[in-house]
């Protein structure tokens, strides 16, 4: 009976989504399976090339800066050129720049190419999220974003384990494998994904142009972007502040690896069942709850004195991550005008990129000046501020997506490239097995 229930739950989780979504999902999974460079970049620069830790940090910062700059540019490209061309340009340029990074040796050249890799790799995110919103029905978006996030973490878990073995054999092999798998993603997009950008039915006065100024003047949305930055600032500490704090407390890298591995395992195991539980619940409450869980999950780290307790704190903030990621991405779509999704997604993506730049500075400064306990206390405060911010900002947000209530029987024509595909049974057998 339990096995039957599990099969039914898995079938309900993956059913009803269009074929185009599963090809996009497959592209995401392949991309993350080959994400080796981010995992061993610091080791490559310090151990293989003999550069200092400061130089490795500079390269990482330039990589992040490239992502910040490309977020807005890619958002504009997504709306003007289309989702498919943006994906093709981003993934092809990522493949070329990653391969080039494996062959350059001069420190200035490495830093410059790392900056290009950051720009190219981050440029695909607004297009992926906008395309997903285009081709999936409003009532299925939380589930779709959750499945995509699950694929990201599954791919990262596998690539992180494989990166160590590949690095022992050859760092260059890692660069070339990632370049090859990223090019496979571009081929999948070219061969299987049609353009999904909604076409304007008419040029009436009711459809004003959407520019970056429009996004910046959207007070509620920019509030969400700011709160997203705060939440991301907290989550970043799991990979920045936590290893440093554990090291200063006398724990080994293997101890940190055991604690942080809980994050990937829980996301892979719980993302789908938790999404089934939260899928049709009030996003306002979910965002407040996840912000508080994230803040106080890291806050509890101040009381951790063993690997087991560190792992328990990771469980708390991982649950927050599982709830926050699909809910917040779906909220961004709800607040975005149909013909401005790329720009809105680009601004949202930039909040995470900026947090990736600020978080290392924050964790290093606080730990060096005041100690790790103050960092974890700051995380609790930031989580509380984010939770209150979501509560205040979303008070007048409708409980249900207007697109669901206005047109419940079928999706709007501009949103889906092939409307019949949205109601067709799942047609991509390989992704179906993986997603289940």
Condensed to tens digits (0 to 9), the pLDDT of residues 288-319 reads: 999 999 999 999 999 998 989 999 999 999 99
Asked if residue 10 has pLDDT above 80, the reply is no
Condensed to tens digits (0 to 9), the pLDDT of residues 384-394 reads: 999 999 999 87
CB 414 within 8 A of CB 83: no
Q: What is the 3-state secondary structure (H, E, C) of the chain?
A: CHHHHHHHHHHHHHCCCCHHHHHHHHHHHHHHHCCCHHHHHHHHHHHHCCCCHHHHHHHHHHHHHHHHHHHHHHHHHHHHCCHHHHHHHHHHHHHHHHHHHCCCCCHHHHHHHHHHHHHHHHCHHHHHHHHHHHHCCHHHHHHHHHHHHHHHHHHHHHHHHHHHHHHHHCHHHHHHHHHHHHHHHHHHHHHHCCCCCCCCCCCCCCCCCCCHHHHHHCHHHHHHHHHHHHHHHHHHCCCCHHHHHHHHCCCCHHHHHHHHHHHHHHHHHHHHHHHHHHCCCCHHHHHHHHHHHHHHHHHHHHHCCCHHHHHHHHHHHHHHHHHHHHHHHHHHHHCCCHHHHHHHHHHHHHHHHHHHHHHHHHHHHHHHHCCHHHHHHHHHHHHHHHHHHHHHHCCCCCCCCHHHHHCCCCCCHHHCCCHHHHCCCCCCHHHHHHHC
Task: Give the pLDDT band of residue 398 (cuts 50, 70, 90).
Answer: low
Task: Give the pLDDT band of residue 5 (cuts 50, 70, 90).
Answer: low
Between 27 and 425, name the one with better pLDDT.
27
**Among 34-38, 173-177, 374-378, which is the least confidently predicted range?**
34-38
pTM: 0.72
Condensed to tens digits (0 to 9), the pLDDT of residues 77-114 reads: 888 888 899 999 999 999 999 999 999 999 999 999 99
Task: Give the pLDDT band of residue 250 (cuts 50, 70, 90).
Answer: confident
Task: Give the pLDDT band of residue 399 (cuts 50, 70, 90).
Answer: low
Between 12 and 137, name the one with better pLDDT.
137
Q: Give the pLDDT score at 433.
A: 31
Give me the domains of the chain, ranges plus CATH numbers: 15-196 (1.20.1250.20), 215-399 (1.20.1250.20)
Task: Give the pLDDT band of residue 116 (cuts 50, 70, 90).
Answer: very high
Q: Give the pLDDT score at 339.
A: 79
Task: Give the pLDDT band of residue 183 (cuts 50, 70, 90).
Answer: very high
């Amino acid at each position: 009976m339990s096995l039957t229930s599990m099969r039914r739950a898995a079938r309900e989780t993956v059913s009803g989504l269009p074929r185009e979504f599963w090809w996009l999902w497959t592209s995401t999974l392949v991309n993350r399976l080959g994400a080796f460079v981010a995992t061993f970049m610091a080791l490559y620069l310090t151990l293989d090339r003999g550069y200092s830790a400061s130089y490795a940090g500079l390269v990482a910062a330039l990589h992040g800066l490239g992502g910040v700059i490309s977020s807005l540019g890619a958002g504009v490209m997504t709306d003007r050129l289309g989702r498919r061309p943006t994906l093709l340009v981003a993934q092809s340029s990522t493949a070329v720049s990653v391969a080039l990074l494996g062959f350059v040796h001069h420190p200035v050249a490495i830093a410059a190419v790392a900056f290009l890799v950051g720009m190219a790799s981050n440029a695909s995110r607004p297009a992926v999220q906008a395309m997903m919103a285009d081709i999936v029905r409003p009532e299925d978006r939380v589930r779709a974003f959750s499945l995509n996030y699950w694929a990201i973490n599954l791919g990262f878990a596998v690539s992180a384990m494989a990166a160590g073995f590949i690095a022992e054999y050859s760092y260059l092999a890692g660069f070339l494998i990632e370049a090859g798998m990223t090019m496979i993603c571009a081929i999948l997009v070219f061969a299987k994904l049609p353009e999904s950008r909604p076409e304007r039915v008419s040029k009436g006065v009711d459809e004003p142009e959407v520019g970056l100024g429009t996004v910046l003047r959207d007070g509620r949305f920019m509030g969400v972007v700011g709160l997203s930055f705060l939440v991301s600032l907290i989550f970043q500490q799991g990979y920045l502040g936590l290893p440093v704090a554990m090291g200063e407390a006398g724990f080994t890298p293997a101890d940190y690896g055991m604690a942080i591995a809980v994050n990937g395992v829980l996301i892979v195991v719980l993302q789908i069942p938790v999404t089934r539980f939260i899928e049709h619940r009030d996003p306002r409450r979910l965002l407040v709850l996840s912000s508080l869980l994230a803040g106080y999950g890291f806050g509890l780290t101040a009381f951790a004195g063993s690997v087991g307790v560190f792992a328990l704190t990771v469980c708390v903030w991982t649950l927050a991550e599982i709830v926050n990621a699909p809910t917040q991405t779906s909220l961004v779509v709800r607040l975005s005008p149909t013909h401005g999704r790329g720009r809105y997604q680009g601004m949202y993506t930039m909040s995470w990129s900026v947090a990736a730049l600020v978080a290392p500075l924050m964790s290093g400064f606080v730990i060096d000046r005041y100690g790790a306990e103050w960092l974890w206390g700051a995380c609790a405060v930031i989580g509380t501020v984010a939770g209150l911010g979501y509560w205040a900002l979303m008070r007048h947000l409708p409980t249900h997506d207007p697109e669901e209530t206005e047109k419940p029987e079928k999706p709007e024509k501009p949103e889906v490239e092939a409307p019949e595909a949205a109601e067709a049974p799942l047609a991509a057998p390989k992704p179906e097995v993986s997603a289940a």
